[in-house]
Structure 1
Amino acid sequence: MPLSDLHSLPEDLYSADAVREIDRYVIDEKGVDGFDLMQAAAASVFRRLVRRWPEPGRILVLCGAGNNGGDGYLLAAAARRHGLNVSCIAVAPVGKLSGDARLAWQKAKQDGVDIVACDGIGADGLDALFVSANLIVDAMLGTGVSGAPREPFAEMIRRCASARKPVVAVDLPSGLNATTGAAAGDVIRADLTVTFIGLKAGLFTGHGPEACGEICFESLTTAQWQEGSGQIPLARRIDWASESAMVPRRPVTAHKGHFGHILVVAGDRGFGGAGILAAEAASRAGAGLVTLATRPEYVAPALARCPSVMVQGLIHGSELPALLDAADVVVCGPGIGRGPWGQQMLQQVVASGKPRVLDADALNLMASRVAVKDDDHILTPHPGEAARLLDCEVAEIEVDRVKAADRLRQVFGGTVLLKGAGTVIASGNEVPRIVDGSNPGMATGGMGDVLSGIIGALYGQLGNPLHATTTGACLHLAAANLASRNKGFMGLLPGDVIDAVPGVLAEIERKRCSLQTPESGT
């Protein structure tokens, strides 16, 4: 997503019902004409379209029956008035159009737009339209639709995928749940999504990041009335630009005791790398001291990889309390396994009462043996671990990720980070956060170990579990994005992300210095 558009996006994310209520309030209570709003929406999509594709060639607009379809007809009319080659497919019969959507269809007809009925053109005719199109506009299904798209919408979505042409989605990609980001069936994969009135939470989590492409927002002058509508955001969008301010400044008089002693308890036999990655990540993320408690055979490899980490080889859980006493924050779980060694370690960590980050097998053990509720811990499950914690199927987690994260928070307390595209963070009575962005290169073993180390380090420095989690998640993604510039996605490794963390943090420090240093001659 271009930086300029990223920074222009609001933070508040709404449910589909809330956005519809804001729309209703603006029209019914504030007297804004609904057709004027529809015209403004269509004009905004057209502007964004020609900005992205100055010479779009032949445009094919797929129109549904509701206001989303009305937006499409008006966009086609605008394209026609500007001399562009544009056609519309009425995916829903025009006889079903009513109100503003019907006015929009009439406007398109008056302006000379070629409109063909989906059920009257036949397969060969559809083939010809999709083949000849250079760009497709999806204006089929709006925010009021849930569940899998029915025919003929499902067929049109499949045709968009097989056509391999750029796609612009009007308000949201058809087939995507605007509230949850779930996709129960076929879903449009857009290159550009122009959304209106309020940002929908589903655009930023679940299937949203993949389905939407670049996201642009147009308030259509309704922002002044959002508060008056009484609608409460479902979640808040966060990114590194917003969260980097939480990174603590380092005074000239700083010493290692100011930035936390992090104890990483990780690495049973066969999983020694997990602890090493978490400990090194904690060091790179600014922890004052890092101790790694692992199996004795991993002491030498850990010291060779990261000699700044203090490494202790432990055979039994009874050896851990002395290390726990010296720690400010504990990271427990990466590679501890589910056997006796891991069970002993987790029991000691929980019994200590220390602030902690629990990940990986610590969560699996919690699901089966050591369930605990605590306001100070941070849990970082992926969907599979979340499903085990809640004793449900992964599909139930993914169907509503915000709700799943909140359920975990209610059951286990503390702060919960649910991994995946559009990471969700729930904590206390705070509005849930959704991390804006994703990186497919992070889909490899060990990335979660790096995340737990980064969050642990920030917990030790900030002392606030929610701030440590939000800042850590955004730093983790920013470092992965930086590393991907040279490594790409397929070859990205957890160590590459660790190596990129200092570069991301250094940029923040440079910006702070430039703000504090007077310009020459002033």
Structure 2
Amino acid sequence: MCAANASLPESLYAADGVRALDRCVIDDFGTPGFELMQRAARSAFRQLARHWPDARQVLVLCGAGNNGGDGYLVAASARRQGLSVRCLAVADPARLKGDAATAHESAREAGVAIERYDGSSPALLGDALAEADVVVDAMLGTGITGALRSPFDQAIAAVRESARPVLAIDVPSGLDATTGWIETDAVSAAVTVTFIGLKTGLLTGQGPDVAGEVVFDDLGVDPATYDRVPAVACRADWNTEARHVPVRRRGAHKGDCGRLLVIAGERGFGGAALLAAEAAARTGAGLVTLATRPEHVSAALSRCPSLMVHGLTHGNELDALLAKADGIVFGPGAGQGAWGQQMLQRVMAFEGPVLMDADALNMLSSRAPGKHDNWILTPHPGEAARLLGVANDRVSRDRMDAIAQLEQRYGGVVLLKGAGTLVLSGNMARPALVQGGNPGMATGGMGDVLSGIIGSLAVQGLSPSRAAVMGASLHAEAADRASLEKGFMGLLPMDLIDRLPSVLGEVEGVRRPPGDQ
């Protein structure tokens, strides 16, 4: 389902999977653990020098285990390069073992003065932060489990309050490397350099909030290593998905490009209906029909006259439109009252692809679950929690587990919205994690646009799972381009719709049908 691009690898791993990769490199391929640690430290120091070339004062915070060992070696490299280095041991160095203990001794031999920080002297850390041009976070890495303990909680809070730029080694301390959940607090990094396996938690949930720019280094391990440990997800973005844009024949007509029926817009929610329908039209569906409340017909035709708009009062009026549709988008602004319930009754029997969003999902959550292979469900975390009958934070704590449960319960394709959107269906070997997008998308109507995009792709011949992954990637790309002009706070759903033709047009420009000039 996904392919890698030049910046980050395709395969994503949980924390235990990365540990298995480490053991495989050491035990099966004979690379000494300390050699891997040295490679990681050299890689981290390169990123420090690249991003902060003028830094003269470096503060390195080291924990226990191999993450702390990486930090000690980074401190040694910085010292050898003539930088002024302060290194605070947030975990007692006497507890270090193996490669981490060797790294600690290497730092001492390089002339690094290592001071113990146990939380009892806030001034020690405060003074060190005040002097630092950049902070290297090597406290916890992938080792976080549950709430933070002292003195790590004090150290992380102090780093955040200092607003000093941070280079995080492997994972920002406090972030769950698998789920992207922050139980208590986490370091907010400007750059995170991560090794051997790309961790899912950096790219989904709260991970994007604190990871900053993510840089990956495989440390030169044998590529066969990755055949030994299965990935838990694959990464996708517009660069990987653009190649799936449908190519039109020169002789194509509107009927060849799919007939999409958008059922949306209870009284007072006509905007949601129009956003979904117009986004579908801008994404290439040949015929887009909007079934909505009669009160919204005039506004819809004024905004987008290419739509075929029908004002419906009762569910039985929908039957003739369903007979002509190749696929359906149902739910944006549909309400959960009698009008929406009547529409849902008819939609449930439709055999083509049906995208269920917004109020459609809320209505489904009050029914006995049933599997439908033709469904595309697009919940945000709150809707996902209602569909599963759990508290909202259960979904956010483990998005990978939540989407697996949703797919098992409801079938079809599930797209779990949020930073690091996830897509899963029964015919996918593992979930796809879609990168892209920005904080400007945190406004009403963005999900309606996404529904229209995916529905449009689904009636143009893409499989439901491909339509979901590609649609989410296209949606994020359009938002990122629109934000360059509009910023984040001023970004509106219509801005994304306006960018869709240019994003798609770039792909069409290099993949013209035979005979086109």
For Structure 1 versus Structure 2, the TM-score category normalised by the shorter chain is: over 0.9
Q: CA deviation at 1:254?
A: 1.5
> Structure 1, residues 357-409: CA drift from partner, whole Å, max 9, x if none?
00000000000137442111100000000000000011000111011011100
Deviations 1:233-269 (CA, angstroms, capped at 9, x unpaired): 1000100000111111122111111110000000001
Q: Which amino acid aligns with 1:302?
A: A
Given the superposition, is the C-alpha separation of residues 10 and 516 from structure 1 closer, same or farther in structure 2, using an over 3 Å criterion? farther
Matched residue of 1:320: which SS? Answer: helix
Task: Return closer, same or farther for 1:514/1:507 CA change in 2, 3 Å cut-off.
Answer: farther
Give per-residue Cα distances to partners, 1:277-312, cap 9 Å, x unaligned. 000000001110000000001000000010000000
Equivalent position of 1:135 in the other structure: 134
- Matching residue within 418, 423, 426 for 2:424: 426
Other structure's SS at 2:348 match: helix
Root mean square deviation, CA, Å:
1.7
In structure 1, give the amino acid aligned to 2:97: S
2:109 equivalent in structure 1: 110
Written as runs of structure 1 = structure 2, the 5 A alignment for 1:372-451 is: 372-430=370-428, 431-451=430-450
* Greater alpha carbon shift after TM alignment, 243-252 vs 448-457: 243-252
**Equivalent in the alignment of 1:351:** 349
2:14·2:199 contact (CA, 8 Å) conserved in 1?
Answer: yes
Does the 8 Å contact 2:117/2:124 carry over to 1?
no
Q: Sort the Cα spacing of 1:121 and 1:108 in 2 relative to 1 into closer, same or farther, 3 A.
A: farther
One-letter amino acid matched to 1:386:
A
Greater shift in the superposed pair: 424-433 or 317-326: 424-433
Aligned counterparts of 2:314 and 2:477: Cα–Cα separation in 1: 38
- Give the AA of the match of 1:233: A
Give how far 1:8 is off.
Answer: 2.5
What is the number of equivalent residue pairs in this alignment? 513
In structure 2, the partner of 1:279 is: 277
Tell me how far apart the structure 1 counterparts of residues 515 and 143 of structure 2 sit (CA, whole Å).
50
Change over 3 Å in CA distance of 1:385–1:104 after alignment to 2: same
State the SS of the aligned residue for 1:7. Answer: coil
Is residue 2:155 matched to residue 1:164? no
Runs of 4+ in 1 over 6 A off after TM superposition: 514-518
**SS across alignment from 1:150:** coil
Report if the CA contact (8 A) 2:125-2:155 is conserved. no
Distance 1:200 1:484 in 2: 27
- Over 3 Å counting, the alpha-carbon distance change for 1:61 and 1:349 in structure 2 is same
Match runs of 1:3-14 below 5 Å: 7-14=6-13
Structure 1: 5+ residue stretches without partners = none
Correspondence for 1:38:
37
Per-residue Cα deviation, 1:486-510 (whole angstroms, up to 9, x for no partner):
1000011111111111111112122
Could you say what secondary structure the match of 2:115 adopts? Answer: strand
With normalisation by structure 2, the TM-score equals: 0.97
Measure the CA separation in 2 of the matches of 1:515 and 1:192: 45
Q: 1: CA distance between counterparts of 2:423 and 2:170?
A: 25
In the other structure, the counterpart of 1:305 is 303
Counterpart of 2:161, as a letter, is S
CA distance, structure 2, for counterparts of residue 379 and residue 365 of structure 1: 12
Of residues 48-57 and 308-317 in structure 1, the stretch that sits farther from structure 2 once superposed is 48-57
**Structure 1 Cα separation of the partners of residues 409 and 442 of structure 2:** 28
Q: Are the aligned partners of 2:249 and 2:513 in contact in 1 as well (CA < 8 Å)?
A: no
Once residues 44 and 338 of structure 1 are traced to their aligned partners in structure 2, the CA distance between those partners, rounded to angstroms, is 54
Matching residue of 2:254: 256
Q: Distance in 1 between matches of 2:260 and 2:119?
A: 67
Give per-residue Cα distances to partners, 1:418-474, cap 9 Å, x unaligned: 000000111114110111233110111100000000000000113400000000000
1:174 aligns with 2:173: yes
In structure 2, relative to structure 1, the CA distance for the partners of 1:478 and 1:159 (3 Å cut) is: same
After the TM superposition, which of the residue ranges 72-81 and 432-441 deviates more from structure 2?
432-441
Equivalent-residue separation in structure 1 for 2:269 and 2:223 (angstroms): 54
Q: What does the per-residue CA deviation read over 1:205-239, in whole Å, with 9 as the maximum and x for residues that have no partner? A: 001111111011110112423234x2111000100
Q: Which residue of 2 aligns with 1:27?
A: 26
Q: 1:515 to 1:128 in 2, by over 3 A?
A: farther
Task: Tell me if the contact between 1:197 and 1:223 (Cα under 8 Å) persists in the aligned partners.
Answer: no
Which position in structure 1 is the counterpart of 2:264? 266
Answer yes or no: is the 8 Å Cα contact 1:209–1:437 preserved in 2.
no
8 Å CA contact 1:357–1:380 kept in 2: the answer is yes
Matched, 1:186 2:185: yes
1:73 aligns with 2:72: yes
CA distance in structure 2 between the aligned counterparts of 1:237 and 1:515, rounded to whole angstroms: 32
Task: Confirm or deny: 8 A CA contact 1:147 1:175 kept in the other structure.
Answer: no
Residue ranges of structure 2 left out of the alignment (5+ in a row): none
- Aligned match of 2:56: 57
2: CA distance, partners of 1:275 / 1:468? 20
- Quick one: which of 337, 340, 344 aligns to 2:338? 340
From the superposition, tell whether residues 514 and 32 of structure 1 become closer, same or farther in structure 2 (CA, over 3 Å): farther
